[in-house]
Amino acid sequence: MRLGLSVILPLAVAAVAACPPALRAADSRVQMMRMRSESLNDPGHSVRVYLPPSYHDPTASDRRYPVVFLLHGWPGGDGNWSGQGRCADLLDSMSAQGEIPEMIAVMPNGNGVGTLGRSLWLNSADGKSRMEDFVANDLVAWTDSMFRTRADAADRVVIGLSDGGTGAFNLLIRHPERFGGAGSLSGRFRLEKGMGINPALAGSGDAARAFLNSNSPASQVESHADQLRKQHLYFSCGAGDENLDDNREFHALLTRLHIPHRYEEFKGGHGWGYWRNHLRESLKGLAGSMSR
């Protein structure tokens, strides 16, 4: 949302107060963990992990699971999808109904060097926050080493909301060896200078404009069209969302390039009322065809 700092800071504080960590940590299906990240020079980066109902069943001890990586927006944190998004309830319900296979969900902290921790899920211009490298390299490797995953791109998808949706598509485009599909809810596909994008994150002046353009999914799809035609793409946007025109333009671009994808619009705006209610379509569109 295009809000001034005087508005954003109180809203961010209020959001944390409205959904305290104790509420999120109480869900035994979601573990709060810490991992070493060489890319971020962080010995204890926070990650939340949802394990499906059968994971600890002794009769399923040899079973391996596909993985969905869920990226939060800005301002935000790794507790958002399990807290405000209630993703554990949805994953349980959808797998029980046979809409998707049981999956492991990994929800990393994506805060970086931008104002109020904005990272855009990118490697920052100043080199101090290599968030893209963290997700594509450190996080994927850590997940495969810690849990019984299906360690191949065909069984990994990445889904994000707002900035996380932009990040999900960048990761899909740049790391096809890691991810087989990407989903976005209310993401932006052509980045512009705005609140939270400071010089540490993107540089200044012409350098910042060039940085944002080169990191815009819409600027990369044509050169990666052959690759994307083999991957799974899903995105949606609310009819009242400020990013609606951008999503429609991205849909038109993919259509012109004959890149298969699914795009949907639903009633709603840029907030948890939309994201919580429409994660289902992203999961079904990307993971519904995975083997059980």
Residue 135 counted as domain residue = yes
Residue 13 counted as domain residue = yes
Residue 58 counted as domain residue = yes
The rounded average pLDDT for each run of 10 residues, N- to C-terminus, in the chain (292 residues) is: 41 37 55 97 98 95 97 97 97 97 98 97 97 98 98 97 98 98 98 97 98 98 98 98 98 98 98 98 90 72
The pLDDT value given to residue 147: 98
Give the domain CATH number at 189.
3.40.50.1820
The pLDDT value given to residue 10: 41
Residue 25 counted as domain residue = yes
The pLDDT value given to residue 161: 98
The pLDDT value given to residue 289: 72
pTM for the model stands at 0.91
- Total domains, the chain: 1
Give DSSP secondary structure letters for the chain: ----HHHHHHHHHHHHHHS-HHHHHT-TTEEEEEEEETTTTEEEEEEEEE--TTTT-GGGTT--B-EEEEE--SS--TTTTTTTT-HHHHHHHHHHTTSS---EEEEE----SSGGG--TTSB-TTSS-BHHHIIIIIIHHHHHHHS-B--SGGGEEEEEETHHHHHHHHHHHH-TTT-SEEEEES--SS----TT--HHHH-SHHHHHHHHHHT-HHHHTGGGHHHHTTSEEEEEEETT-TTHHHHHHHHHHHHHTT---EEEEES--SSHHHHHHHHHHHHHHHHTTS--
Residue 160 counted as domain residue = yes
Residue 292 counted as domain residue = no
Residue 184 counted as domain residue = yes
Q: What residue numbers bound the domain in which 178 lies? A: 5-287
